């Protein structure tokens, strides 16, 4: 199975692009959403998180205590790194298992941090979705009812888009000037030939 990653900065249009691939019957694994599921339900991962952050990391009903976890990792970079070192391999394993059970020419995995965490090296191809920062901020402010400064701050904390495009096999321009559907179709044609 060919595994293709889709990444890009906040509001670049990763999910929008993946929805178009889904219309072409390509299965998509949304890594950030699955990470949340695993943190709530994967017994092995949960026990490792409890060892790292303490029993308080989980509510009595077994759900992740997001507020508590956020309060720790946002003020302790080392703990955040350690948490990521637990979550990312669990997600990779789950995605691999998921991918092996798909019946298509290739599968997609969408995540914001494939380049930052190095996971892209384990994928066969990487698609990076790009859009001008101003456009991304405008779109996220509208989508999340957020404000300009907050979104800008989150973008400034991410790896610059240019660094992601350096390791891309395919780049999708989602500035709005070029047809997204046309670009996705072109990549899809290439991928099914591989
Ligand atoms: P995040 O990193 O925050 O999860 P994302 O990269 O997955 O974001 P999307 O959610 O796909 O980005 O897009 C952000 C917002 O911009 C959405 O509301 C989406 O509908 C809108 N959007 C995406 N592409 C375009 C476009 N070409 N023109 C106008 N709006 C767009």
Domain extent listing, the chain: 1-27+102-194, 33-100
Domain 1-27+102-194 and domain 33-100, same fold? Reply is yes
Query: Of all protein residues, whose CA lies closest to atom 24 belonging to ligand 1?
Result: 13
Pocket of ligand 1 (CB under 6 A): 8, 10-16, 112, 139-140, 143, 174, 176, 180
CATH of domain 33-100: 3.40.50.300
pLDDT at 117 over 90: no
The token pair that represents 142 in the structure block: 């509208």
Average pLDDT of the segment spanning 117-137: 95
- Closest residue by CA, ligand 1 atom 18: 143
| Confidence at residue 74, expressed as pLDDT on a 0 to 100 scale | 85
CA distance 188 to 49: 38
Residue 164: closest CA among 19, 10, 61, 45: 10
Distance 44 CA to ligand 1 centre (A): 34
What is the per-residue pLDDT for 89? 93
pLDDT in tens, 135-193: 999 999 999 999 999 999 999 988 999 999 999 999 999 999 999 999 999 999 999 99
1-27+102-194: CATH number: 3.40.50.300
Q: What is the pTM of this model?
A: 0.93
- Above 90 in pLDDT, residue 108? yes
List, for residues 39-92, the tens digit of each pLDDT value.
999 999 999 999 999 999 999 999 999 999 999 998 899 999 999 999 999 999
Closest listed residue to residue 96, CA positions, set 115, 123, 126? 123
Q: Are strands 2-8 and 106-110 parallel, antiparallel or unpaired?
A: parallel
SS3 107: strand
């Amino acid at each position: 199975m060919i595994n293709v990653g889709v990444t890009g900065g906040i509001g670049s249009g990763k999910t929008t692009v993946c929805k178009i691939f889904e219309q072409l019957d390509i299965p998509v694994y949304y890594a950030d959403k699955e990470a949340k599921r695993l943190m709530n339900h994967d017994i092995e991962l949960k026990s490792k998180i409890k060892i790292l952050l303490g029993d308080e990391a989980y509510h009595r009903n077994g759900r992740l205590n997001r507020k508590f976890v956020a309060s720790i990792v946002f003020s302790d970079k080392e703990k955040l790194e350690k948490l990521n070192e637990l979550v990312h391999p669990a997600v990779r394993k789950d995605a691999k298992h998921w991918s092996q059970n798909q019946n298509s020419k290739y599968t997609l995995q969408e995540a914001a941090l494939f380049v930052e965490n190095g996971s892209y090296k384990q994928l066969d191809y990487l698609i990076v979705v790009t859009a001008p920062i101003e456009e991304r901020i405008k779109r996220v402010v509208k989508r999340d009812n957020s404000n300009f400064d907050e979104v800008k701050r989150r973008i400034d904390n991410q790896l610059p888009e240019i660094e992601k495009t350096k390791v891309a096999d395919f780049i999708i321009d989602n500035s709005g000037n070029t047809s997204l559907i046309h670009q996705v179709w072109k990549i899809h044609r290439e991928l099914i030939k591989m």
